[in-house]
Amino acid sequence: MSRRVVITGMGVCAPNGVGLNNFTQSLLQGTSGIQQIPELEQLGFGCQIAGLPPVKESMLANYFSPLQLRGLNASGIVYGVMAGMDAWTDAGLNKNTGTTPNWDQGIIFGTGILGVDKFREAIHLIDAGNVRRLGSTSVIQTMASGISAYLGGLLGCGNQVTTNSAACTTGTEGVIMAYDRISQGKAEQILTGSCSDSGPYVWGGFDAMRILPRTYNDNPTQASRPMSATASGFVPGSGAGALVLESLESAQKRGAKIYAEVLGGELNSGGQIGEGSMTAPNSLAVQRCISKAISNAGIKASEVEVINGHLTATSKDALEVENWSKALGRSGNDFPLINTFKGTVGHCLAAAGSIECVASVLQFQQGSIFKNINCDDLHEDIKSVINEQCVPRTTITYDASIIAKASFGFGDVNACVIFKSY
């Protein structure tokens, strides 16, 4: 039989808050972490704003040794280690200081691109004939699995230690992968999450595609407008989210606090055929992903009370709502409450799913559904499918039992996970 899986720890390094407490308060209040970035202006970007975690140098000594900090120039690793170590501590777990790995503990921590600034530094040194100045950490900072390798070594985990990568779906995919492994009895505790580098070399490609807003450089907090009639593109962001998934038996045995239960989920692809492409979703696949996640979780579509969507503030937001409606067989007043946190943090790319999973689960703890911001002018195509009251513009008191969270990414890939209050 499949074992029950729960969440016992969380950590976050987001544009609107580093650490669970700061992040929670920002979500309750609808505080935006999107800001004007002088470097983007200097480089002539059309979109000169982004979501950048407010990480102070003084914080780093709590997570890295002086030796590890020497030459560290990979923001994604910094964000991921901070969120991951905080989640581990929050779960009441300790670092393994013994001589034998803990065979029941693992890491599934994803990213899209890692160590871009370090890689650029390496290219300049190599081209200048200074290869010996690269240092001993350039490889781990620029390999995709650098983040899981860092965390695996810091914690002494002996189970699966790996990095997944599925564009904007990465973080939610990792939660489902961790759930699968624990529910099948292959691990007891897995630290899962995802991270994304920050900076012009990550965000430049999106600016070149002209899918970022260009008219809010002087008004950054209003720029990210999911589900809005005036949405003009997603605001790039960065950071990391992390969750400790654990078998219920293990959590109960050690008396751990439990944030929520993971009932299951689904991963699929639209194959980039039909209406699907590298950047556009195949609606049939999205609907199937949602429907299968509900089936795999052993619940009915009517039991979903809250949706945390992908909803990036592009022209595809209305299509996403339509796909949710078709998958659930619910519309108008019968549609669940729906929110997205991209209005406050932007689109954190590979880190989006994990940051948003943390935020979704925090709603159980807070007995609230966090507000949507910048969508008072709800898109007409969305209003034609669901009642406007299904989109809360203020944080509301609500003790949800079932929350569905989904992420959809470049490459026509989809993930949907079902959380239950515990």
Query: pLDDT tens-digit profile of 14-56?
Result: 999 999 999 999 999 999 999 999 999 999 999 999 999 999 9
For the stretch 353-375, pLDDT in tens is 999 999 999 999 999 999 999 99
Closest by CA to 227, choosing from 305, 319, 323, is: 319
Backbone angles phi, psi at 371, to 5 degrees: -70, 155
pLDDT the model gives residue 1: 65
Q: Are 12 and 19 in contact (CB under 8 A)?
A: yes
The answer, as to whether pTM is greater than 0.95, is yes
For the stretch 324-363, pLDDT in tens is 999 999 999 999 999 999 999 999 999 999 999 999 999 9
Q: Are 141 and 180 in contact (CB under 8 A)?
A: no
Q: Which domains does the chain have, with CATH numbers?
A: 5-260 (3.40.47.10), 264-420 (3.40.47.10)
pLDDT the model gives residue 347: 98
Residue 126 CA to residue 362 CA, distance in Å, equals: 46
Angle at 228 between CA 223 and CA 229, to 5 degrees: 110
Model confidence at 124, in pLDDT bands (50, 70, 90)? confident
Model confidence at 134, in pLDDT bands (50, 70, 90)? confident
Closest by CA to 343, choosing from 383, 303, 371, 315, is: 371
What's the Rg (C-alpha) of the chain?
Answer: 20
Query: Roughly what angle, to the nearest 10 degrees, separates helices 146-155 and 75-90?
Result: 40
